[in-house]
Amino acid sequence: MKLWSLPIDANRGKALGAPQQVTGGVASDERPSISADGRTLVFVSNRSGNIDVWRRDMATGNETAITATPGDESRPRLTRDGTKICYGASETGKLAIYVASGLKQAVPERICEDCGNPADWTPDGNKILYWRPNPIRWFTIDVATHTATEVIPRAEHENHNLEYSPDGGWFSFDMPDERTVFVTRLKAGIAGGRSEWIRVGEGAHAWWSPDSKMLYLVSARDTFQCLWGQRLAAETKQPSGEAFPVYHFHEARRVLPLNTLGWGLASDRFILPIAESRGNVWLGKFD
């Protein structure tokens, strides 16, 4: 599993070329998160023997380990300006969340010792969106006060991959049991119940365009896991027109695994973890 960069006009949903490999070596690199300007990338990698958080300067290619612990870290997420990183860590059976600097080496701060898995930041960078499992419930925690608030009511089926729109007024999410992506408006930072959700279409793991007028999603509607776009009405976020293909992955050699995707969309590039499979034919001789 390596990270690849797909050049894209993110507000138009237009790929501008083929993906180019970003990370190398024999390790597995997953769950990218990139700043809005495309200059800073964070991800998890097992290149040091266990899973740590790494940061990459996209201009120079320099990579630095944010964590170097004997345990595994998970789900790093940058603020949109790239100044802060949150990530999760399993510690004695509890799910802690830490915050580190996105710009320089500094000692990470533990925000909570048993809260859940981080997913996103509020656009102002003051709160972390996270989820607790079994069953999945979604909360925010204030980085300064450590106050937690539940942000979306539980439904019959679990909500996955919540993400704030860049303007902060909406959530996107998917429901794997229904293979469907939804958006919902926020009121004082809280989402309403199912009757207020807007169905965007078939797919999973949605990303917002920088102008909040389009969603990208992964869909197997053409039998392959490909990248699709769906334009949204500016005010209501109702789907506008039909979903359209952004980039096809119609080959067995390179695929998009859903559980490793992360949040790697910037204005000019899409950072995607791509699983690349290769094989050889061997000849053996029997005595």
pLDDT tens string 45-78:
999 889 999 999 999 999 999 998 888 999 999 9
CA distance 205 to 227: 10
- State pTM to two decimals: 0.92
Q: What is the rounded average pLDDT of the residues 255-277?
A: 93
- Phi, psi at 151, each rounded to 5°: -120, -10
Among 220, 244, 223, 224, smallest CA distance to 232 is for: 244
* R_g (Cα) of the chain, nearest Å: 19
Q: What's residue 219's pLDDT?
A: 95
- Band the pLDDT of 92: cuts 50, 70, 90: confident
- Band the pLDDT of 287: cuts 50, 70, 90: confident
User: Whats the size of the chain, residue-wise?
Assistant: 287
What are the distances in angstroms from CA 89 to CA 93, 94, 110, 263?
Answer: 10, 8, 10, 18
Quick check: 235 pLDDT over 80?
yes
CA distance 13 to 226: 13
Q: What's residue 278's pLDDT?
A: 77
CA distance 264 to 163: 12
Among 92, 105, 88, 100, smallest CA distance to 44 is for: 88
Q: What is the rounded average pLDDT of the residues 249-257?
A: 86
Beta bridge partners of 63: 56
Quick check: 131 pLDDT over 80?
yes
- Band the pLDDT of 197: cuts 50, 70, 90: very high
What are the distances in angstroms from CA 227 to CA 48, 142, 157?
Answer: 31, 33, 24
* CATH classification code of 2-276: 2.120.10.30
Quick check: 183 pLDDT over 80?
yes
Where are the domains positioned within the chain?
2-276
